Amino acid sequence: MKKDLLGIADLSGEEIYRILDTADAMREIGERPIKKVPTLRGKTIVNLFYEPSTRTRTSFEIAEKRLSADTLNIAVASSSVQKGETLADTAMNLEAMAPDMIVLRHACSGACHLLARICRSRIINAGDGMHEHPTQALLDAFTIRQHKQRLAGLKIAIVGDLLHSRVLRSNVLLLTKLGAEVCVCGPPTLVPPGIERLGVRVSIAVDEAVAGADVIMMLRIQQERMRGAFVPSLREYFHVFGMTAERVKRAKPDVIIMHPGPMNRGVEIASDVADGPYSVILEQVANGVAVRMAVLYLLAGGVEEGSHAEAAA
Ligand code: CP
């Protein structure tokens, strides 16, 4: 792998499969009575989150601890960022203490690329603005493969706030790279201009988008990134685009329902769908640990291709 993981755009299909296969080996560590291997002993990893996170931050920390790395969580709210220190200065000061990797979440698209240019440490993108969230797309692909045994040829409908979603961008890049047939669906005000150039079909009719789908991936309405009215009201949004049990019936009988979280219940997804028999939402969360272990391990050097079992020894 390259020095940093900045986005799915930088990964080849072969590298993506390598991460997924390594995550398969990592998953078993989480099922052991003692969930720890010495693989990253002596490595220091800084988790630097400028935006709130429950799943990503926690699963990176668990992944780091399972691999025996020394982990450090920077609480931005109580750091010198509050005194006006820039991202670059913060990173250079952390670098002075010689970490091996920095896991960064930031509200600005491109923040991880900036750090990758100026830092010796390996940078992992844990979500940058509206740009990419590569480990989310990797854990989504891992979860889909677990259920469908393949990605190529699957019909995948991604529904919701497409405009503000870094999860959308990373998933579209990954799924089209691996040969899935992707349809994206949302209100016209929330469809990024030119998205079809990434090789997806665009629909503004949810019933049509989910017809015959193997996978339905719901995206959150990101009110915190909206400046202005993109939808008339949340109640109307749910009526037109919300995933209901009735709409799920249009998909394949073995459809899986995904959501990266956090969910707005009753806005983009009905509670009986989120908690229902087709939902794999909590499996996505569980798989996040194994996938992030795989990313950390491979970035730290990994081993020769074909010997992933060594990582879990
Ligand atoms: N999916 C995701 O990124 O969730 P968090 O914001 O809780 O990390």
Tell me the per-residue pLDDT of 36-84, one tens digit each, with 9 for 90 and over: 999 999 999 999 999 999 999 999 999 999 999 999 999 888 889 999 9
Q: In what order do the strands lie in the sheet with 256-258?
A: 201-203, 181-185, 155-159, 215-218, 256-258
Using CA positions, which residue lies closest to atom 1 of ligand 1? 260
Helix axes 281-299 and 13-27, enclosed angle (nearest 10): 110
Q: What percent of the chain has pLDDT over 70?
A: 95
> Chain-wide mean pLDDT for the chain?
94
Residue 195 pLDDT exceeds 90: yes
Please give the residue that has the higher pLDDT: either 308 or 298: 298
Distance 306 CA to ligand 1 centre (A): 31
305 vs 147, residue with greater confidence: 147
Give the pLDDT confidence score for residue 230 in this predicted structure: 78
Q: How far is the CA of 57 from the centre of ligand 1 (A)?
A: 8
- For residues 284 and 139, is the Cβ–Cβ distance under 8 A? yes
Strands 101-106 and 256-258: unpaired
Nearest to 158 by CA among 105, 198, 104, 109: 198
The residue contributing the CA closest to ligand 1 atom 6 is 53
pLDDT at 293: 98
Give the model's pLDDT for residue 83.
Answer: 92
Separate counts of helices (H) and strands (E) for the chain: 11, 9
Is the CB–ligand 1 distance for residue 201 below 6 Å? no
Would the CB of 222 count as within 6 Å of ligand 1?
no
Higher pLDDT, 304 or 283: 283
Closest CA to 281 of 238, 214, 218, 222: 218
Summarize the confidence of residues 136-148 as an average pLDDT: 98
pLDDT for 304 equals 43
For atom 3 of ligand 1, the residue with the nearest CA is 56
Q: What is the pLDDT of residues 228-257, one digit of tens each?
A: 677 778 899 999 999 999 999 999 999 999
> Does the CB atom of residue 199 touch ligand 1 within 6 A?
no
pLDDT at 305 over 60: no
- For residue 224, report the distance from its CA to the centre of ligand 1, in Å: 14
Query: Which atom belonging to ligand 1 lies closest to the Cα atom of 105?
Result: 8
Contacts of 301 (CB under 8 A, 6+ apart): none
Q: Quick check: CB of 80 below 6 Å from ligand 1?
A: no
Spell out a b/e string for 290-305, using b for 16 or more CB atoms within 10 Å of the CB, else e: bbbbbbbbbbbebeee
Model's pTM, two decimal places? 0.94
Q: What percent of the chain has pLDDT over 90?
A: 88
> At a CB cut-off of 8 Å and minimum separation 6, what does 83 contact?
none
